[in-house]
Amino acid sequence: MKWEIVIGLETHIRLLTNSKLFSDSSNHMGSIPNKNINAVDVALPGTLPILNEKAVEYAIIFGLATNSKISNKTMFARKNYFYPDLPKGYQISQLDMPITSGGKIFYKNNEIEKNINITRAHLEEDAGKSIHGELMLSNGNPSTGIDLNRAGSTLLEIVTEPELRSVEDTVAYAKTLHHLVKWLGICDGNMQDGSFRCDINISVRKYGDQKLGTRTEIKNLNSFKFMEQAIKFECNRQINILENGGIITQETRLYDPIKNITVCMRNKENSHGYRYFNDPDILPLNISDDFIKKIKNKIPELPQICCKRFQNICEISLTDAKKLTANREIANYFDKTINLLNSKSLYKIAANLILGDITYFSNKESKDVFFSKISHINLANIVKRIGDNTISYKIAKEIIEGIWNNKFIGEIDEIIFTNGLKQIDDMIEFEKIIDDIIQNNDDIVKEFLSGKEKALNSLVGKIMKITKGKINPQKVLSFIKEKIYKKY
């Protein structure tokens, strides 16, 4: 019997606001426990929530980027439940009138373009965090502590339709969403700190059935690897139950990565169980079309569009274009660089340097530190000097490393002149070296004469090594061929 998997995702992203959703406490994660809290966060009597405008702006940015409908009127509701790290006894969220609805996200799985419909995206505050076993009582027994730094932090929950039909599609969508929210600058995407975490709703049904099966929800997956493993286990678990005549219970489950199993956390609640009602302390929010239009002007070019543009104007491969748009900082850096260049051949040189040495060094420090050392102007000038044969690729890499290590300081042309890095065009100076290498590599020469043009690349490499990259490799190749044809 064949079974079809049906999956929908609820993804919580922590928005990059300076303060929390309804208080002016810091939204920064990673501080010592209970440092970033105030009277609102701990729900002292008489405190009132004040909505963070930047959170609204970020939610609208996401909605516009996914072609969602932005609600001109949106409301907040209280989601009532008891948990030790929820001081108010309720969570402020949105139910009937979310800030955005509809929209699509386009993603690729094995280079096949697909899309998934978004049901809604709504703002809500996060709960605190229970810390188990790290605190010790005076009698030596472990205890549980409550850290409220996270309580009230700004979340946007993005809910999809149940349209995913495979593990691979689910992970591909989640990775695309992760890339998008980082690109938009609304979330840092730090999965380890819980800034991007997914709840996965899974059910199975026989192929051809139109009715959805009973679903389970796997909570708080903060790793693409765990997501893949959890889905595989849960699908197999449900299929085994059904094939043995059992019934799936609607419940919330947790994934245990050590045992690679999902375990029941609680029976699944519905919205009635949470006793939602409109929050009386927060007035309905009216969002004008002018406000939406103003925000629309702030949205950067989307990554898929940027990727296609790089591929077209630079005539680079899709793989390289994807790497250049892996994050917005590198994409902007490349954009600024090629704006100072005037040919596709130079664009390709810039792309190769960024994907090689530039990426290597930028990964060693923050992008801000790196770009302050090797500006796009410096990189463009290095590319120009490769293009006009003033320096070779090897020397270019040496210059980049030298600037990074503070060995070279100043303008690129000055660095080349002062350090004697200019490429040598006169082959006569190196004629004896070339003659010796041809003489000592008779087997390679024979390969070349038999029709294998690329055989000479190893000879060029040997000469470049001896001359420390200060000789034009194309001229070396031509000179070697000339010598061989004269001799043989």
Q: Which has the closest alpha carbon to 350: 385, 307, 395, 308?
A: 385
Q: Distances in Å between the alpha carbon of 55 and those of 47, 284, 293, 424?
A: 20, 15, 16, 58
Let me know: does 354 contact 360? Beta carbons within 8 Å: no
Residue 364 CA to residue 356 CA, distance in Å, equals: 13
**Which of the two residues, 465 and 154, has the higher pLDDT score?**
154
Q: How many DSSP H helices and E strands does the chain contain? A: 17, 17
Strands 261-267, 251-256: pairing kind: antiparallel
Phi and psi, residue 263, nearest 5°: -125, 150
Which helix (DSSP H) or strand (DSSP E) does residue 136 occupy? strand 129-136
Domain segments of the chain: what residues? 3-291, 301-419, 427-487
Q: Would the pLDDT of 259 be above 70? A: yes
Output the DSSP codes for 301-363.
PPHHHHHHHHHHHHT--HHHHHHHTSSHHHHHHHHHHHTT---HHHHHHHHHHIIIIIHHHHT
Residue 51 CA to residue 281 CA, distance in Å, equals: 11
Let me know: does 230 contact 255? Beta carbons within 8 Å: yes
- To the nearest 10 degrees (0 to 180), the angle between helices 376-387 and 393-404 is 160
How does pLDDT run across 372-420, given as a tens digit for each residue? 778 999 999 999 999 998 998 889 999 999 998 889 989 999 999 988 8
Q: Would the pLDDT of 359 be above 90? A: no
User: How many degrees, rounded to 5, is the angle at CA 171 between CA 358 and CA 152?
Assistant: 85
**pLDDT at residue 457, rounded to an integer:** 85
Let me know: does 477 contact 460? Beta carbons within 8 Å: yes
**Which of the two residues, 375 and 466, has the higher pLDDT score?**
375
Burial of 421 (0-12, 13-18, 19+ CB in 10 A): buried
Name residue 73's amino acid: K
The model carries a pTM of 0.87
Where residue 332 falls among pLDDT bands split at 50, 70, 90?
very high
Let me know: does 278 contact 250? Beta carbons within 8 Å: no
Range picked from 115-124, 319-328, 448-457 for highest mean pLDDT: 115-124
How does pLDDT run across 199-241, given as a tens digit for each residue? 999 999 999 898 999 999 999 999 999 999 999 999 999 999 9
Q: Which has the closest alpha carbon to 378: 423, 419, 424, 415?
A: 415
Mean pLDDT over 177-196 rounds to 96
Output the DSSP codes for 63-117.
HHHTTPEEPSEE--EEEE---TT-TTSEEEE-SSS-SEE--EEEEEETTEEEEEE
Which tokens hold the place of 4? 């079809």
Sign for the CA dihedral angle at 478, 450, 461, 440 comes to negative
Q: Distances in Å between the alpha carbon of 271 and those of 63, 93, 309, 348?
A: 24, 12, 45, 54
How does pLDDT run across 73-105, given as a tens digit for each residue? 999 999 999 888 999 999 999 999 999 999 999
Output the DSSP codes for 392-418.
-HHHHHHHHHHHHTTS--S-HHHHHHH
- Kindly report the CATH class assigned to 427-487: mainly alpha
Which helix (DSSP H) or strand (DSSP E) does residue 159 occupy? strand 154-160
Residue 200 CA to residue 270 CA, distance in Å, equals: 16
**Which three-class secondary structure state does DSSP give residue 257?**
coil
Q: What is the largest CA-CA distance in the chain?
A: 97
Q: Would the pLDDT of 465 be above 90? A: no
> To the nearest 5 percent, what fractions of the chain are helix, strand and coil?
40, 20, 40
Name the residue with tokens 């949105």. Answer: 94
